[in-house]
Structures are given as structure tokens and as C-alpha cells.
Structure 1
Amino acid sequence: MATPRVRRSAAALGSTVLATALLLSACSSGGAGSKDAADGKVTITVDLFGTFGFKEAGLYDEYTKLHPNVTIKQTDTQDEGQYWQALQTKLAGGGGLADIQGLEVGRVASVVQKQADKFTDLKTLGIGDVNDGLVPWKGAAIKTADGKVLGAGTDIGPEAICYRTDLFKAAGLPTDRTELAAKWSSWQGYLDLGKQYAAKAEAGNAWTDSAAGMFTAEVGQQKVRYSDESGKAVHDSSPAVKAAWADATALVADGLSAKLAQWTPEWNKAFTTGKFATLSCPAWMIGYIKGQAGDAGAGKWDIAAGPGKTGNWGGSYLTVPRTAKHPKEAAELIKWLNAKEQQATLFTKQGSFPSSTGAQDAIKDVTDAYFNNAPIGQIFSESAKAMPAQVLGTDDGVIGKAFTDALGEVERTGTAPDTAWKHALDNVKKANGN
């Protein structure tokens, strides 16, 4: 599943934690590394999908102040699917790659098992321990069978539900986050409350944005989703996939979806027009909401623990391609960005939940004024603590997209769920050349 990173407004979060994190980050800087230009200056290129938040959180500015010889040039592709296609083209041709390339968690197994020779073993660049302080499964996923470390883990995506308090009040629903968490402790409870909302909500205002969002959040709660422990694709028989599909199609049948394709301009606009009242909300989504809803949305949104109180949606890695022009400098930047102090800053400013256990300890008491002072550190920390170490398959990205695209058919063209399911399976086969 594509996971565009978070973007946020200038609203401050957890000022005490932020001040501490910035102080620590300034103290944790290392040397700038080798220089290959005549004047000793180096431009490190970074190519990412969506918004990772490094620039927005001021981390690039902080790093270049600490290393005056370094300039950082970043490019972005909003849609991860388009980014991945472009990355594959560059890897095949061997040119056009940045010094640092982002990698979404759904692509990790494919890279580790099929393209390890295209990326630099970070051990050879002196940062083989970059994942040592992370939750164990994060680093393990990017390590090859023969011990190569192909990337550094950034954030993870513990889940919750974001909701519009003003729309809830208008429909006569409670707004207390503890009460709501109890009412939607299961996905069935979430659907049932949605029906209550739909009965009183204004015309044109739906319970949630899309079936795809709910499906992705629900499958993200299971250890085995698209592939089993042996690496075999099991999406066609997976209980997790079947249960999430049934719930997502029930959402559509009950008229609870706004039928908006995520990451589109129409979806982005809906954050300001109030087209939906709830949103499956991994941690990185809170910054995205702020970026789209803007200052006018402050105080209208809140966050509560979601169904099952756990799950993981997304998370990323930073890699150094074999053709990088400045691999040593890239590695030093990666190590600094992924240090616990910088990961804490990213959550405090952007909402990107850290994979660093040290950073998790630092942010557990953070609250967010934009979301009615919701205890986001506590909510997402508890979700992360219960999060399963998901089995990652080589085709997870392809499979996830096939099912969310098929749900779009159900929503927007009226395709019968059974027919759309078959389309999803066919599209997986086509993507794999079968």
C-alpha cells in the first residue's frame, strides 16, 4: 500500500519534548565525511515518495548547520506507486538514482530477495549498526540472508481512528475518545456506529473516506496477510484478507463510504469540506490531516484508539543505491536522521511514529493541541506495543494495491464484490506475468 508521508501545519506539539529532542540532536552530530569536490562541498541527493517530514521538521537545516560543507537536495513523488515504478526503471538502467532512495515497507521483501545487488550494504559504509536501537522486526526486514544491511528503518505506522468532533456532535454521537474507543473496539462496532451516524448526518457527509482505507487498516492488524512464513503468497485464502474484504464491502453496501480514492486531489479537498467524519489513522496520517485541513481544522479533529487497539500501516526505510555518487556522506546523513533524537523530533513535529525504542520512550507523553490535546504519544505507543511483527512477502505492494483498486470498483462503478474480488486476483497474476 502506498503510504504518503505526513505534512503538518505550524501548530506546535509537545514543546518540552521538542526542545529536549533538538538539544540532543545538536549534540549527536558526527563528522561530515569525505569530500570529493574541489572546494570540499558535497551535495547529497535524496529521492522520496510523499513527505517523509525531514525538511518540514527542520532536520535538513539542522544538519547543514552542523555540516556547512553539505547541501541536501530532495525530490519527491507524491504517489508511492509511481515512485516505485520510476525507481525500478532507474535500477534497471543503472542511472538517475539519488544518493539516498526511500523504500516503503511493502517493497522491502522484494528488494531484499530480488534486488540486493542494486543497493549498498550499509556495513561497508560504517553504519551497519544503524538499526540496532529499533524495534527488532524493523531492522530484520531489511537484512539479507547473508547478513547485508540494505537500509535504515525510519518510522512505523501504529493505527488509531481520527474523527471530526463537530460532525459527531451534529449527528448526536459522543465525542469522548475513551467512550468512542469502547464503542468501536471491533470493526463491527465501527460499522454499527457508522450506521447511527449516517441516520442523522447531513446529506453528502459520509462516515469514512473509503473502503480502501478501512481494508488496509484491518489487514494491518494481522501477522499473516498476503504471504505466509515460508514466503508463499496466500492472499486468495488469507482469513485476514477475507475478513477485511467482507467488512470493507459491507461499509459500501451500508452507504458509509464517501467513495473517495485516497491520495487524489478530490480526497485532499474533502479534508476541508467535511465529506467524511472518520478516517483510519496510522500515526503519519495526523500530519497529513493538518496539511490538508489547515488551521481551520484545528480543534475539529480528535483521535481515539481504533478497533483492536493495534495494527501497522506503512513505515519506510532509507537506502543507498550502488550507483550513489556520495555513499559515505549519504550514510552519515542517514545515521543522523535515524538517530533516536531525530526520530523523536519527527513525531513531535510531524507525527511520524519512531521505530527507535529510545525515541518511543521520549514521546510517550506527547499531546497534540490540533487534535483537542489528544494524548497521541500514549495512543500510538499502546498501539505499537500490541503491533504484530508482520510477515512481509515479495509482492505485498502489488497485492495490496490490487485489492484496494478492486474496492474502488465496488465503490465507484457498482461492481459486485465477488466480481471485484476476482478482478483483484487476476490483477495480481497479471502483475506477476501469469
Structure 2
Amino acid sequence: MSTSHRSPRRRAVAVVAAAGALALVAGCSGGDESVTGGGKKDGKVTITMGLYGVMGFKETGLLEQYEKENPNVTIKAEVAGDEQTYYTALQTRLAGGKGLKDIQGIEIGRAKEVVETQADKFADFADVEGTDHFLPWKQSQITTEDGKVLGLGTDIGPMAVCYRKDHFEKAGLPTDRDEVAQLWEGDWNKYVEVGRTFKKDFKGGDVAYMDAASGLFNAMVYGYPEQYYNAEGELIHETNPAVKEAWGLAADAAEDGLSAKLRQFQPGWDPGLANGTFATAVCPAWMLGHITEKAGEAGKGKWDVAKAPKGANWGGSFLGVVEQSPVKEEAKKLVAWLTAPEQQAHIFQGQGSVPSSQEALDSAEVKDFTSEYFDGAPIGQIFGEAAQEIPDGQVLGRKDGTIKDTFSQGLVLIEQQGTPRDEAWDTTVERIEKAVG
């Protein structure tokens, strides 16, 4: 991180510390009285966080840094490996009003539901200064019609393809990232066709071409402005040509035996990364951190990153603060600091999560960054260009996350059980109807 950015950040931290001290003078409540686990006692502040996956705050040392620069603050972060499990628990806790954390992560597929049904459960960030650096469309996704801002953006999900160079070499395929990108340039059908070549020519054991057909499905669907809802809020998952096209190609890949028959972030996927049991994974930027952690030192330099066939935005998150938190103001200041441009650039350098801050995206720390883990890949350039290809005005729906998960489960029926695609589609549609009412 450049020296020119450090002084403003430290001044901001000083403001945070001073504000926290004033709050402590004004009043003090024991942490045992809190419904969120956080609280204030004896001049000290405890802030709890509920996170999922590899969001980068803990992994890149930012929480520890904040504690060092604010010695009156202790941060306790609980991280769930799977967002679907995390969100189910969060819904239960929001309904019951207990068991929550002061700060809760919110995945983009849940944002619309939170905005429409749980706005009263989250604090408003509209009055927090210094938060005008975000991409406008990012913050609009977590803002209510009356202007209440329920959280601040962390990352966005521009698309690439991560691949194992050693596996490509054993299949007689090029390994240079630019040449690899040319194999499937402009068309996800080409990506699947490369998979057929890989399966035919690979010499080196039992290795699948891709991890999961659902990854391909998501990458294709999120390349369009509308996925499961239209702009009027009506469900269109059964009739949307984009969904049908993605389902058809993903089913082709599953039926042709191109996948490792896994579900991303579910049991078996992490060992697959660690053991190299598949050669490619459709790879939104935030997935780089997960691959780095789970593939470990043994995967360093073997994984590389190539441009995806088409642009898309899959994923991205927010941090919100629970309205009932006894340390609400301190938690809001922590969120503002964690999502500030310099911290977003730091997380990008640490694990590849692309900032939702325009200021961070424009910084040299992001644009010129290369990844040592991914064999020197210019991920700042790759994902920066991919971010420009994200469709404008993507429509979010109340049950986007639930529908996405259900389609993933439907593709697993084809991969793991050999269910005919039409039957798997019908089953998926029925499950969606039950889930979303």
C-alpha cells in the first residue's frame, strides 16, 4: 500500500478511536446484556462479526490491525464456511431477535430480501461520512426506496476462469493464460468444447475438466441484466432465455462427464482444490482467496487465471450493522473503515477480491497488481477489464440466493444421480415454487 494513503487512513482511525472514547464516557453497558454478543464495559468495546467464506477481513490481518490502532476495541469474528448455511441461521436469529452479531455479512443474492423485508433490523449508513467512494450501482442494491442504506459494499464479482497449468499441459492444451483465453473467447460453448478435448486427451490419472456444472450455469446467468426476476419484481426463472441457455449448456457438461460432480463450497469441493481433482473452475474474483487457502502451498504456481468467455457479475457482499446492537455506532465506524478504499485495495492484494470502491479500482495498488500465488497473473488488469464488462442495471430479486442454490441442486441431480435433464428441470422448478411461494 502506498505511503500517500496511510496518513488519511490513520487520521480516520484516530477519529474512530476518539468517537469510541466519547461514546464510552456517555454510557456503558455490560456485554452480557447484549443480544448480539458485543458490548461496552470498563472503557472497553467488544464488537462481534458474523462472516462467511473467505471475505478477507480476518485472513489479511485487517481486524488485527484495527485492534492494534484502537486498543480499546476487541473484535470477535465468527466465520461460516458456507453462505447458504450462514444465511439460514441469520434469518432464524433475525426473527428471534437474539444470537446475532453486531456486524453481519450480507451476500448480494440476499440483498433484495433484506431491503424489502428486514430493513428495520439493520442500522442506517446514510449519515456516515466518507462513504461516497462506492460504485453507485453497488450501494443502490442495499438501499431502500426511502433512502435507508443498510450496509456498505465489500467486493464485486467480475468473472474469469481459474485453471491448472499442469493439467492443461498433460492434455496437450496451451498453458499461457492469453492463449488459454483465446481457446474460449466470446462463447461459453467454446469453454465446454475445450472440456471435451481435455477429457479425450488428458494423460495423468482421474482428473475432471471442471469442478461443477453449477459454476458454469452461474457464470452464464449472471452475464445478463435479468436472471430470476424482471424489473417489475416478477419471477421469470422458468421463461428467461438466459436461464434456459445456461441450464442447457451446464446439463451438456454434466451429461458428458466433464465435471467432478461437486457443488462449490459444499463437502468435497475443498479437498478437490487441495488434491487437484479438477482442471478448471469458473472463477469470480472473490473465489481467488478461497482457492489460495484451500489449495494451499501445493497449488501455488500451478493455478493460473485467464479471461472468461464473457463478462458477468457473480457475487459480492455487504457489511450491515444490527439495529439493536449495543455498540451500533462503534460497529458502523468499523464497517466504514473496513470498506474504505485503502482497505479494499489491501484485501484485493491479499486475496483478489475486487473492490466495490471506484477509488480503490482506480488505484495503482489494484490496477497494477499481480498475484504470486497464481503464477504472476496480472489479476488487477484481468478483473479490472472484466469489471467493465458487467451488464448495467442488473436486476435483483427477493429470493435470488434461494433460487440460485436450488438450480445448483438441480444440476447435481444430473451430475451425481444421472437424472434426465428435463426431469431435473421439473424437479427444480417445483422446489423453487415451494421455496419462494
TM-score by structure 2 length?
0.91
Residue number among 50, 54, 69 corresponding to 1:47 in the alignment: 50
- Given that residues 208 and 276 in structure 1 are in contact (C-alpha distance below 8 angstroms), is that contact kept between their aligned partners in structure 2? yes
Give the secondary structure class of the aligned counterpart of 1:227. coil
Aligned residues: 413
Return the alpha-carbon distance in structure 1 between the equivalents of residues 234 and 396 of structure 2.
10
- Per-residue CA deviation, residues 237-287 of structure 1 (Å, 9 max, x unaligned), is 111111110110011122211111221331111112221111101111111
Q: Which moved further from structure 2: 242-251 or 175-184?
A: 175-184
Partner of 1:303: 305
1:378 aligns with 2:381: yes
Partner of 1:263: 265
- Per-residue CA deviation, residues 82-102 of structure 1 (Å, 9 max, x unaligned), is 111111111111112111111
- Given that residues 53 and 290 in structure 2 are in contact (C-alpha distance below 8 angstroms), is that contact kept between their aligned partners in structure 1? no
- Given that residues 255 and 414 in structure 2 are in contact (C-alpha distance below 8 angstroms), is that contact kept between their aligned partners in structure 1? no
Give the CA deviation at 1:28: 3.6
Partner of 1:26: 10
**One-letter amino acid of the structure 1 residue matched with residue 214 of structure 2:** A
Give the CA deviation at 1:120: 1.6
- Given that residues 164 and 302 in structure 1 are in contact (C-alpha distance below 8 angstroms), is that contact kept between their aligned partners in structure 2? yes
Give the secondary structure class of the aligned counterpart of 1:191. helix
1:356 aligns with 2:357: yes
Partner of 1:424: 428
- Per-residue CA deviation, residues 20-54 of structure 1 (Å, 9 max, x unaligned), is 76666435423222223452110011111222111
Give the secondary structure class of the aligned counterpart of 1:122. coil
Return the alpha-carbon distance in structure 2 between the equivalents of residues 380 and 247 of structure 1.
24
Return the alpha-carbon distance in structure 1 between the equivalents of residues 295 and 431 of structure 2.
34
- Given that residues 115 and 144 in structure 2 are in contact (C-alpha distance below 8 angstroms), is that contact kept between their aligned partners in structure 1? yes
Return the alpha-carbon distance in structure 2 between the equivalents of residues 255 and 104 of structure 1.
31
- Given that residues 102 and 318 in structure 1 are in contact (C-alpha distance below 8 angstroms), is that contact kept between their aligned partners in structure 2? yes
Partner of 1:64: 67
Give the secondary structure class of the aligned counterpart of 1:53. coil
Partner of 1:345: 346
**One-letter amino acid of the structure 1 residue matched with residue 319 of structure 2:** L
1:75 aligns with 2:78: yes
Note the 1:149-188 alignment, pairs <5 A.
149-185=149-185, 186-188=187-189
Partner of 2:32: none
Return the alpha-carbon distance in structure 2 between the equivalents of residues 361 and 113 of structure 1.
32
Residue number among 269, 285, 288 corresponding to 1:286 in the alignment: 288
Partner of 2:34: none
Identity %: 48
Partner of 2:331: 330
Give the secondary structure class of the aligned counterpart of 1:181. helix
**One-letter amino acid of the structure 2 residue matched with residue 409 of structure 1:** L
Partner of 1:92: 95
Give the CA deviation at 1:346: 0.5
- Given that residues 99 and 321 in structure 1 are in contact (C-alpha distance below 8 angstroms), is that contact kept between their aligned partners in structure 2? yes
RMSD of aligned residue pairs (Cα, Å)? 1.5
Return the alpha-carbon distance in structure 1 between the equivalents of residues 97 and 252 of structure 2.
46
- Given that residues 406 and 431 in structure 2 are in contact (C-alpha distance below 8 angstroms), is that contact kept between their aligned partners in structure 1? yes
- Given that residues 25 and 342 in structure 1 are in contact (C-alpha distance below 8 angstroms), is that contact kept between their aligned partners in structure 2? no
Return the alpha-carbon distance in structure 1 between the equivalents of residues 12 and 175 of structure 2.
42
**One-letter amino acid of the structure 2 residue matched with residue 245 of structure 1:** W
Give the CA deviation at 1:203: 4.3
Give the CA deviation at 1:228: 0.6
Give the secondary structure class of the aligned counterpart of 1:277. strand
- Given that residues 24 and 341 in structure 1 are in contact (C-alpha distance below 8 angstroms), is that contact kept between their aligned partners in structure 2? no
Return the alpha-carbon distance in structure 2 between the equivalents of residues 170 and 24 of structure 1.
50
**One-letter amino acid of the structure 1 residue matched with residue 103 of structure 2:** I
Partner of 2:390: 387
Tell which has more relative contact order, 1 or 2 (C-alpha 8 A, sep 6+).
Answer: 1
Pick closer, same or farther for the CA change 1:282–1:22 going to 2, 3 Å: farther
- Given that residues 345 and 360 in structure 2 are in contact (C-alpha distance below 8 angstroms), is that contact kept between their aligned partners in structure 1? yes
- Given that residues 156 and 317 in structure 2 are in contact (C-alpha distance below 8 angstroms), is that contact kept between their aligned partners in structure 1? yes
Return the alpha-carbon distance in structure 2 between the equivalents of residues 141 and 394 of structure 1.
11
Note the 1:216-235 alignment, pairs <5 A.
216-235=218-237
Give the secondary structure class of the aligned counterpart of 2:155. strand
Return the alpha-carbon distance in structure 1 between the equivalents of residues 154 and 240 of structure 2.
29
- Given that residues 21 and 345 in structure 1 are in contact (C-alpha distance below 8 angstroms), is that contact kept between their aligned partners in structure 2? no
Give the CA deviation at 1:306: 0.6
Note the 1:185-224 alignment, pairs <5 A.
185=185, 186-201=187-202, 202-224=204-226
- Per-residue CA deviation, residues 363-416 of structure 1 (Å, 9 max, x unaligned), is 011001111111000000000111113110001011111111000000000111
**One-letter amino acid of the structure 2 residue matched with residue 177 of structure 1:** R
Q: Which runs of no fewer than 5 residues in structure 2 stay unpaired?
A: 29-39
Return the alpha-carbon distance in structure 2 between the equivalents of residues 98 and 306 of structure 1.
37
Return the alpha-carbon distance in structure 2 between the equivalents of residues 408 and 148 of structure 1.
39
Return the alpha-carbon distance in structure 1 between the equivalents of residues 3 and 81 of structure 2.
30
Pick closer, same or farther for the CA change 1:136–1:19 going to 2, 3 Å: same
Return the alpha-carbon distance in structure 2 between the equivalents of residues 165 and 246 of structure 1.
28
Return the alpha-carbon distance in structure 2 between the equivalents of residues 252 and 47 of structure 1.
35
TM-score by structure 1 length?
0.92
Partner of 1:236: 238
Give the secondary structure class of the aligned counterpart of 2:233. coil
- Given that residues 54 and 289 in structure 2 are in contact (C-alpha distance below 8 angstroms), is that contact kept between their aligned partners in structure 1? no
Return the alpha-carbon distance in structure 2 between the equivalents of residues 411 and 22 of structure 1.
50
**One-letter amino acid of the structure 2 residue matched with residue 375 of structure 1:** P
Pick closer, same or farther for the CA change 1:166–1:21 going to 2, 3 Å: farther
Pick closer, same or farther for the CA change 1:189–1:59 going to 2, 3 Å: same
Give the CA deviation at 1:430: 0.8
**One-letter amino acid of the structure 1 residue matched with residue 355 of structure 2:** P
